[in-house]
């Protein structure tokens, strides 16, 4: 069974968009198999975004995710092609390119405040679920 990691970032939580994002995945027919609210540690955010560590926005991104002004909602969703379709439902990383009907296309315009995250491959889904939900068997 295919699983992906979807997160509502602090801006999405602060803006009250959690229920809408969950509703979209439920309506599509996907199954929620893990959910937690947390302020991620720096260690967790650094590891989550390890691929971006050389980017100029990396420190700002990690600070934003971890400063505690609002928490993150981490979720695991399960179902057919959920990794690819989850990304389609979120819309383009840069909201200026995200189509209407997608989460980013409906709610935001700034790449630094793009509301949500979704795993981009089977490998990253496995890594991210392990990272955010801990050891084997927790979910």
Active site residues: 117
Distance CA 49, CA 52 (A): 5
CB 55 within 8 A of CB 101: no
Residue of the chain from 20, 78, 120, 126 that contacts ligand ATP (CB under 6 A): 120
Distance CA 4, CA 30 (A): 11
According to the binding rule CB under 6 A, does residue 118 interact with ligand ATP?
A: yes
Nearest to 104 by CA among 123, 121, 88: 88
String marking each residue 85-114 x if it binds ligand ATP according to CB under 6 A: --------x-----------------xx-x
Output the CA torsion sign for 133, 98, 58, 8.
negative
Number of residues that bind ligand ATP (CB under 6 A): 10
The pairing of strands 31-38 and 116-118 is unpaired
Residue 134 beta carbon to ligand ATP: minimum distance, rounded to whole angstroms: 20
String marking each residue 44-63 x if it binds ligand ATP according to CB under 6 A: --------x----x---x--
Binding residues for ligand ATP, per CB under 6 A? 52, 57, 61, 93, 111-112, 114, 117-118, 120
């Amino acid at each position: 069974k295919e699983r992906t990691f979807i997160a509502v970032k602090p801006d999405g939580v602060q803006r009250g968009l959690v229920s809408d994002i969950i509703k979209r995945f439920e309506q599509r027919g996907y199954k929620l198999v893990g959910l937690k609210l947390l302020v991620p540690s720096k260690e967790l955010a650094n590891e989550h975004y390890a691929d971006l560590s050389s980017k100029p926005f990396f420190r700002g991104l990690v600070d934003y995710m971890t400063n505690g002004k609002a928490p993150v909602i981490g979720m695991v969703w399960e179902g057919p092609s959920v990794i690819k379709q989850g990304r389609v439902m979120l819309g383009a990383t840069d909201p200026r390119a995200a189509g209407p009907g997608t989460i980013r296309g409906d709610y935001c315009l700034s790449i630094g405040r793009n509301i949500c995250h979704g795993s981009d491959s089977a490998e990253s889904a496995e890594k991210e679920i392990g990272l955010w939900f801990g050891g084997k068997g927790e979910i």
